């Protein structure tokens, strides 16, 4: 996503059914985004694996898994394999 301070001088309008509008509103809320940011993310950044909020949650899970591996006494080889696989996500 782009810098929040960047000006956005162009407005686009679309016609939606009430159900479509409600679905977008719900999905944006669930993703922790404003509707315009959610729509922009889906249209422009559709190749992304997740919304910014989901990326943070995923990173937290990966950090916890890494910590668990280390505390469980995983070998250096197992830890490096985890790091390689985790790196493929990003």
Ordered per-residue pLDDT tens for the chain, 90 residues: 456 667 889 998 999 999 999 999 999 999 889 999 999 888 887 676 677 788 888 899 999 999 999 999 999 999 999 999 988 876
Which pTM does this prediction carry?
0.50
Structural domain including 67 reads 49-90
Residues 79 and 62 in one domain: yes
Counted domains in the chain: 2
Q: Kindly state whether residue 4 falls inside one of the protein's structural domains.
A: no
Q: Kindly state whether residue 9 falls inside one of the protein's structural domains.
A: no
Q: Kindly state whether residue 39 falls inside one of the protein's structural domains.
A: yes
For residue 48, what pLDDT is reported?
67
Q: Kindly state whether residue 5 falls inside one of the protein's structural domains.
A: no
CA atoms of 50 and 77, how far apart (whole Å): 29
- DSSP of 45-81: STTSSS-HHHHHHHHHHHHHHHHHHHHTT--HHHHHH
Say how far residue 12 (Cα) sits from the centre of its chain.
Answer: 24
């Amino acid at each position: 996503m782009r810098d929040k301070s960047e000006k956005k001088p162009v407005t686009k309008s679309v016609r939606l059914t009430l159900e479509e509008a409600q679905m977008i509103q719900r999905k944006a809320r669930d993703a922790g985004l404003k509707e315009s940011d959610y729509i922009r993310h889906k249209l422009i950044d559709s190749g992304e694996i997740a919304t910014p909020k989901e990326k943070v949650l995923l990173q937290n899970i990966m950090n916890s898994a890494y910590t668990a591996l280390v505390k469980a006494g995983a070998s250096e080889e197992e830890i490096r394999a985890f790091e390689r696989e985790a790196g493929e996500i990003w």
